[in-house]
């Protein structure tokens, strides 16, 4: 069931030290808009971005892996302070392994959020595999958690909040806003 947080999900989320995100269909709604000069335009949800910032402030590493290459993605990652960005990736497992090795993270300490069949190999590898609500059926079959929100529309924020709550960091963060 989408959005159901079981004890198993909460236990795995409590161990996460690295959140890995796909871009198209996860950080965006999957649409690619081109202007008249062929420049790519993407729309990102501001709440997703704030969730990423909160998660990073709480000490969790964040990485972006995407099969496409776009300067827009690098600009957004820079804006959010995401240090690990790999674009034009054909093998997401290999790209993830490079980041995990550099950060010193184990598979069981990683959450990956994907949406499509190309994400299946990495979904099968990590400790907390997540697929967005509007992801494809085949990817959802590999997920331990399916978000309630669709990609590009709050799904990443939902995962960030889940991780912060499972790691008992949520109340401390909320005190800042009280």
Q: Above 60 in pLDDT, residue 1? A: no
Close Cβ partners of 75 (under 8 Å, ≥ 6 residues apart): none
The span from the CA of 15 to the CA of 128, in Å, is 9
Let me know: does 13 contact 166? Beta carbons within 8 Å. yes
> What pTM does this model have?
0.95
Return mean pLDDT, the chain.
95
pLDDT-based confidence at residue 178 (cuts at 50, 70, 90): confident
pLDDT on residue 90: 93
Helix (H) or strand (E) segment spanning residue 144: none
pLDDT digits (tens, 9 = 90+) for 98-118: 999 999 999 999 999 999 999
**Domain locations along the chain:** 15-175
The Cα-based distances of 57 to 13, 15, 97, 141 in angstroms read 17, 17, 23, 32
pLDDT in tens, 9-31: 999 999 999 999 999 999 999 99
- pLDDT value for 2: 59
CB atoms within 10 A of CB 90: 8
Judged by average pLDDT, the poorest of 36-45, 102-111, 116-125 is: 36-45
- Mean pLDDT over 62-68 rounds to 96
Query: Which architecture characterizes domain 15-175 according to CATH?
Result: 3-Layer(aba) Sandwich (3.40)
Backbone angles phi, psi at 167, to 5 degrees: -95, 10
């Amino acid at each position: 069931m989408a959005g159901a947080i079981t004890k198993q999900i909460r236990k795995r989320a409590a161990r996460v030290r690295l959140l890995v995100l796909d871009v198209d269909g996860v950080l965006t709604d999957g649409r690619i808009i081109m202007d008249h000069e062929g420049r790519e335009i993407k729309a990102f949800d501001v709440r997703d971005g704030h969730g990423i910032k909160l998660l990073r402030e709480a000490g969790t590493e964040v990485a972006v892996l995407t099969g496409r290459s776009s300067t827009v993605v690098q600009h957004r990652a820079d804006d959010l302070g995401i240090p690990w960005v790999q674009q034009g990736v054909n093998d997401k497992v290999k790209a993830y392994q490079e980041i995990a090795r550099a950060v010193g993270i184990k598979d069981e300490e990683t959450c990956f959020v994907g949406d499509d069949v190309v994400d299946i190999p990495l979904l099968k590898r990590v400790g907390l595999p997540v697929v967005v609500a509007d992801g494809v059926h085949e990817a959802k079959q590999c997920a331990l958690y399916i978000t309630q929100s669709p990609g590009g529309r709050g799904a990443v924020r939902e995962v960030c909040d889940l991780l912060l709550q499972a790691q008992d960091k949520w109340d401390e963060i909320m005190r800042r806003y009280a």
